[in-house]
Amino acid sequence: MKYYFLKSVYETGSTTSVRLRALPGQAFETGARIDPSINVAGKPFIRTAYPIGTVFGCSDLVSFGTYYKTESYFPINILESDLKDKYHKAPEDMLRAYESFIGLALSETDGDSEEAEEPPVKNTYLSKMKKNPNFKVPTVLSDGFYVQEDIWYLLLRNIRSQVNTLMVGPTGTGKTELVMLACKKLGISCSVYDMGAMYDPVAGLLGVHRLHEGGVSVFDYAKFTKDISKPGVVLLDELSRAPATTNNILFPCLDSRRSLPVEIAGGNDLREIPVSPECCFIATANIGSEYTGTMDIDPALQNRFFPLELSYLPPDEEINVLKKRCFIGRVNAGHIVAVANNIRDLYIKQEISCSISTRETLMAAELVADGWSVLRSLELSFLPLFEGSGSDGERGIVKKIISSR
C-alpha cells in the first residue's frame, strides 16, 4: 500500500492556525510530484490535538488542484502513551513505511543490554537515500554536472532536515547550481537572493514604506518575508559579499528563534514573521581575502551554518563537463583544462592573485565550439582576468602558459 506523510505547520503569518502540508520528496503513484507548499484538508481535531511539527501518515491523499485531501490520517512520531485516542494509533506497516521514507529504520535492541547495538549499515539515513532512485548522484552524462557523492548526499540530508548550510569554495565551482539541482531532485522550491548586490538589506529583506494616495504610508513587505514563511529553500547567494548590516537581520531567522522581526512605523510596531518549519537556509560564500570584493563572514553568522566545501573538478570530470555542455572534442577540452590547472597551481602557490574557475573553462570551450582556435579562445577567456601587459606582470605569466600548450 502507498503511504503519504504530512506535517502540522502554522498557517503563513499566524501562530494559532494549524495546517497540514506534505513532507518534501514525495510523489503520487502516477509519478506526479506532491507540492509541499499546498495545504492538505483533513479532520482538524486530529492535527490540533498534537504539537506543531507532528508528522502524520495517510494512504488516501487526493489532489483537488489547489489543495490535497485525506479522510483518515494518523500521528507517526508520537509515543503510544501520548496518543489522545486509541483510534489514532498508526498501522504498523505505515510506521515501517515512514521509517523507510526518512531513512531511519529503528534498530531493535535487547532491553537487558546496557548499550544498544549500532544499527546495521543498511538501516542508516545515508544508505536509505542511496537506495532512493530520485536521489541518485548527478553525473556529467545525465545532468551535465559533477559532484562528489558524499557532498551530494550531505546536501540532500541537510535540506530535508532543514539544517542551515554554508557552501564554501572558489568562485565558479558550481555552488549555486548544485543547490538548485538538489531542490529540483527533491521537488521543492528554491528562492535565490543575490546578497552581493543587495546594497540595502533592510529594503531587500524586510520591506519599505511607500506613500499611497492621500498621503497614507503603507509598509510593503519584501518578497523574502513571504519566502521564509513557506516550505522550500531560501538560497543566500554570495553571502560573503553582503553588507555587514545583513547579519542582524538574519540572526533570528537562523537560530532557535526561527523568526524575522520587522519594525514598522519607526519601531512603534514590531511584528514577528515565523519561519516555516519546512524552510531551509542555504548560503554560498567565497571566504577569505583572496576573493576580490569579498569580506570575512562574521563568525557568529558562520557558526549558524553547517559548512560544506566544494573544490575544482577532477581533470577528467572537468573535461567531460566541457565535452557534454559545449560539444567539443576531448583533445581540445583537455588543452583547456590543462592550462586552467597550471594557472590554479600558481594561484595556490600565491604566485598570482587570481585563479580560473569552471565558469571560465566553459567560456573558452564555447568559443572553441563556435569556431575560434583553442589558443585564441584561451586568450580571450583567461587573459582579461589578470593585470599587466602581454609580456609582463601576471598577464605575461598566463600568456606564456597558454602559448606553451
236-259: per-residue pLDDT in tens?
999 988 988 899 999 999 988 899
Domain locations in the chain?
Answer: 4-102, 136-309, 315-404
pLDDT category at 287 given cuts 50, 70, 90 is low
Residue predicted with more confidence, 103 or 49: 49
What is the C-alpha to C-alpha distance for residues 320 and 316, in angstroms, rounded to an integer?
6
Question: What value does the mean pLDDT take over residues 314-324?
Answer: 93
- Residue with more model confidence, 85 or 136: 136
Measured between alpha carbons, how far is 388 from 401 in angstroms, rounded to an integer?
15
Please answer whether residues 223 and 254 qualify as being in contact, where contact means their C-beta atoms are separated by less than 8 angstroms: no
Amino acid (one-letter) located at 370: D
Chain center to CA of 365? 28
Q: Is the pLDDT of residue 326 over 80?
A: yes
The model's pTM is 0.67
Give me the amino acid identity at 339. Answer: V
Residues 6 or more apart whose Cβ sits within 8 Å of residue 262: 206, 207, 219, 221, 225, 270, 271, 272, 273
Alpha-carbon 163 to chain mean position: 10
Cell of 168: 564554501
What's the sign of the alpha-carbon dihedral 25, 26, 30, 32?
Answer: negative
Between CA 400 and CA 405 the distance in angstroms is: 9
Segment among 6-15, 78-87, 107-116, 348-357 with least mean pLDDT? 107-116
Instruction: Look up cell 538589506; give the residue.
Output: 201
Residue 274, H or E segment: strand 269-274
Beta bridge partners of 219: 209
Give the start-end residues of each E strand in 138-265. Answer: 165-168, 190-194, 207-211, 217-221, 232-237, 259-264
Q: Work out the number of other CB atoms within 10 angstroms of the CB of residue 351.
A: 11
C-alpha cell at 316: 577528467
List alpha helices for 162-229, DSSP H.
175-186, 201, 223-227
Angstrom distance (rounded) from CA 246 to CA 284: 15
- The type of residue at 35 is D
Phi, psi (rounded to 5 degrees) for 326:
-110, -5
Cα angle 137, 174, 367; round to 5? 115
**Residue 104 has what pLDDT?**
45
Query: What's the rounded Cα separation, in Å, for the pair 245 and 164?
Result: 20
Closest CA to 288 of 309, 314, 306: 309
pLDDT score, position 282: 97
Q: Alpha carbon of 84 to those of 48, 68, 100: distances in Å?
A: 11, 25, 26
H or E element, residue 139: none
Rounded mean pLDDT, 63-78: 88
Which of these CATH numbers, 3.40.50.300, 3.40.50.11540, 3.30.930.10, 3.30.300.130, describes 136-309? 3.40.50.300
